Amino acid sequence: MEFKPRIVAFLCNWCSYTGADLAGTSRIEYKANVRAIRLMCSGRIEPTLVLKAFTGGADGVLLCGCHPGDCHYQEGNYRCLRRYLLLQKYIKQVGIESERLKLEWISASEGKQFADLVNSFTETITGLGPCKIKETIAIFK
């Protein structure tokens, strides 16, 4: 059976979720593998959420927030960026390919960019195959 990646996307309410919404209302087609989770701010995204996504079965995780300088709460997106970069180092150490975690800024008007992001990310993950963390978790209680 062909591998269908499961992708979790954490989207901030003010910019990136609205941008994703715009892709929908504009009838732009994009791959259906993504599950969106809306947070008020990308600054709410913390490593626990990302790790839970992976151990819960995600093959890829997307983090999206407002462009630098545009955060509705001033600096939340910078917080997200810093956590993302540190997380990248961590997941590399524990054997999860760094391509499986991606951060991109999406504004409220960037519906097309969101669709392109999802399509290219899905392709990347399809190429990588299922995330092996699933096998590890199956062994442990």
Minimum distance from residue 50 beta carbon to another protein (Å): 8
Q: Is 79 in the site for another protein (CB under 8 A)?
A: yes
Q: How far apart are CA 73 and CA 38, in angstroms?
A: 16
The residue (of 36 and 78) whose beta carbon lies closer to another protein is 78
Alpha helix segments (H runs only) across the chain: 16-25, 47-55, 76-93, 111-128, 133-139
Q: Is 39 in the site for another protein (CB under 8 A)?
A: no
Among 24, 32, 47, 98, binds another protein (CB under 8 A): 47
Q: Is 35 in the site for another protein (CB under 8 A)?
A: no
Q: Is 139 in the site for another protein (CB under 8 A)?
A: yes
Q: Is 81 in the site for another protein (CB under 8 A)?
A: yes
Q: Is 72 in the site for another protein (CB under 8 A)?
A: no
For residue 63, what are the contacts with CB-CB under 8 A and spacing of at least 6? 9, 10, 42, 45, 50, 80, 84, 101, 102, 103, 104
- 44, 16 Cβ separation under 8 angstroms: no
Binding positions for another protein, 88-107, rule CB under 8 A? 89-90, 93-96
The residue (of 32 and 40) whose beta carbon lies closer to another protein is 40
Q: How far apart, in Å, are the Cα atoms of 78 and each of 84, 90, 106, 107? A: 10, 19, 14, 15
Note the residues at the interface with another protein (CB under 8 A). 46-48, 51-52, 54-55, 68, 78-79, 81-83, 85-87, 89-90, 93-96, 131-133, 135-137, 139-141
